[in-house]
Amino acid sequence: MPCFSDRFRQELDLLMRWRRDVRRFRPDPVSPALLAECLEAFACAPSVGLSEPWRVLDVRSVRARQAALENFDSANAQALSGYSGEKAKRYAGLKLSGMREAPVQLAVFCDEQADKGAGLGAATMPETRRYSVVAAITQFWLAARAHGLGVGWVSILDPERLCLGLGAPEGWRLVAYLCVGWPEEASETPELERAGWETRRGRLIVEVR
């Protein structure tokens, strides 16, 4: 069993603190070898019943990117209409995705029909399959950040329409649309906090039962 040092733990803490949801990317490309190395973090993620239900589409063509961007623009306009006054003004000023610039864009799905794992652990809480995909995304995010890459998770999307737009196989459910690239800037503070939308609570409150 490998033993980890205090120094490693301090750096891991630093990595988690400097991970950000990145929406501002430099146009520089990401090498396919580097992307492949970061994506290896998917394969060792935890998954319910060892179902490994994660599926990834590398969204590269103009047509596919256009479908994703139009989807975001429409969902974002609708979301804006749900705010009013000062909050609407502030929402309209936020940059909520890097979909126009990010050199790499990945659509990440859960295969709801995957029979790998034979359903173990997913009978009463089938959402655990989607949660396995999220765990894999989180590991990828940290691995990418350790290489200096930024990742931004876009959720302002109509998921079913995006499945159609990207020609996802039947039974795949969208979990995340990820923008990946070299960040324009770095910060320990979330962009939404810097933009005055919301502040971090800072510490976890644990109640005892």
- Ranges within 153-172 binding its own copies (CB under 8 A): 153, 155-159, 166-167
- Residue with smaller CB distance to its own copies, 70 or 193: 193
> Going by DSSP bridges, is the β-strand pair 104-111/150-154 parallel, antiparallel, or unpaired?
unpaired
Q: Mask: binding to its own copies, 18-47, rule CB under 8 A, as x and -?
A: xx-x-----------------xxxxxxxx-
Contact 122, 49 (CB under 8 A): yes
Number of residues that bind its own copies (CB under 8 A): 102
182 binds its own copies (CB under 8 A): no
Q: Of the candidates 31, 85, 123, 170, which one interacts with its own copies according to CB under 8 A?
A: 123
> Going by DSSP bridges, is the β-strand pair 150-154/54-58 parallel, antiparallel, or unpaired?
unpaired
- Please state the closest distance from residue 101 (CB atom) to its own copies, in A: 18
- Residue with smaller CB distance to its own copies, 65 or 101: 65
Q: Mask: binding to its own copies, 59-98, rule CB under 8 A, as x and -?
A: xxx--x----------x--xx--xx---x---x--x-x--
Separation of alpha carbons 200 and 54, rounded Å? 30
Separation of alpha carbons 175 and 169, rounded Å? 14
Distance in Å from the first CA to the final CA of the chain:
33
- Three-state DSSP at 154 gives strand
